[in-house]
Amino acid sequence: MEQGKQGVMAAPKLIAQQQNPIEQLQARFKELESGFRAWLAKQSLPVEAAIVTATSAAQGAAIGAFMGTLTNDVSSSLPNPPPQAPLNPQAMASFKQAQALSGGPIVQARNFAVMTGVNAGISCVMKRLRGKEDVQSSMVAAFGSGAMFSLVSGMGGPNQAANAITSGLFFALVQGGLFKFGQKFSQPPAEDIYYAKARSMLDNLGLQNYEKNFKKGLLTDNTLPLLNDSALRDVKIPPGPRLLILDHIQKDPELKGRRGS
């Protein structure tokens, strides 16, 4: 009888899980993303930089192609100067800049791929070498991104080297300002001190996205030794991450000792 009752009680849960395919898909995607990041962190610097650059360039190309469809009409309306028109170098440079900024899908896909790919690749290298991600690393990555964009897009004009440096400096200053602005308005609240160990644990496991679940359930550092599957399920953490969290707590000498005391 007891087994029958348990089966009847479990049935609605199974049905509920089957009725939420979007949640299951999101959880699966997060697990795959966490696994990929963990695998990537174990690779050598050249391999990690190459993969990060390629994936970011592909994302940038997709965004650029979409943006290019919006500016395609503008680029087609630009007048083409006659082949032997006596344009001075400054006017020709301005015309090329206008073409670069209003190109079609292919042109913009190339431009965005270069910008995002170079930025992500340099950021990856700087973070691995310096062990942190700060405003200096962000500005170096932005400088490289701006310089390469100037060279590839044809905005350099007659003096490509000088314009590449100018564009790189402009990108770096903008990125540095945005980084500082973001830091100023993203200071962790005072209550974050109660989730320091939990946050560190989730970072090590590649499960940073679930920090908000801990906070919503008030699962502070003091509750870590007491965590069980039921508590993690109550704060809507999927099965895979739950197993990783519980396994980490079981293997952590400090938490395991407090659990048994």
Which pLDDT score is estimated for 127? 86
Domain total for the chain? 2
Do both 67 and 116 map to the same domain? Answer: yes
Which pLDDT score is estimated for 16? 47
Do both 174 and 195 map to the same domain? Answer: no
- Exposed / middle / buried, residue 75 (Cβ in 10 Å: 0-12, 13-18, 19+): middle
The 10 Å Cβ neighbour count of residue 173 is 14
Do both 140 and 208 map to the same domain? Answer: no
- Write out the residue range of the structural domain in which residue 206 sits: 189-260
Query: Is residue 24 in some structural domain?
Result: no
Do both 123 and 198 map to the same domain? Answer: no
Do both 48 and 125 map to the same domain? Answer: yes
Which pLDDT score is estimated for 252? 83
Query: Is residue 112 in some structural domain?
Result: yes
- Exposed / middle / buried, residue 151 (Cβ in 10 Å: 0-12, 13-18, 19+): middle
Do both 78 and 162 map to the same domain? Answer: yes
> For residues 149 and 156, what is the distance between their CA atoms, to the nearest angstrom?
9
Query: Is residue 8 in some structural domain?
Result: no
The CATH number of residue 210's host domain is: 1.10.150
244: helix, strand or coil: helix
Do both 79 and 172 map to the same domain? Answer: yes
Which of 166, 184, 202 is where one domain is finished?
184
Do both 166 and 51 map to the same domain? Answer: yes
Which of 165, 184, 203 is where one domain is finished?
184
Which pLDDT score is estimated for 79? 52
Query: What SS3 string covers 132-152?
Result: CCCHHHHHHHHHHHHHHHHHH
Do both 62 and 127 map to the same domain? Answer: yes
> For residues 225 and 233, what is the distance between their CA atoms, to the nearest angstrom?
16
Query: Is residue 10 in some structural domain?
Result: no
180: helix, strand or coil: helix
pLDDT by 10s per residue, the chain, length 261: 445 545 445 554 444 445 567 877 888 888 888 888 888 888 898 999 999 999 999 999 999 888 878 766 555 555 555 555 454 555 445 545 555 556 678 888 888 999 999 999 999 999 888 888 888 999 999 999 999 988 887 765 667 788 889 988 999 999 988 888 887 776 655 557 888 889 989 998 999 999 999 999 999 989 999 999 999 999 999 999 999 999 999 888 877 665 554
Query: Is residue 231 in some structural domain?
Result: yes
pTM for this one?
0.53
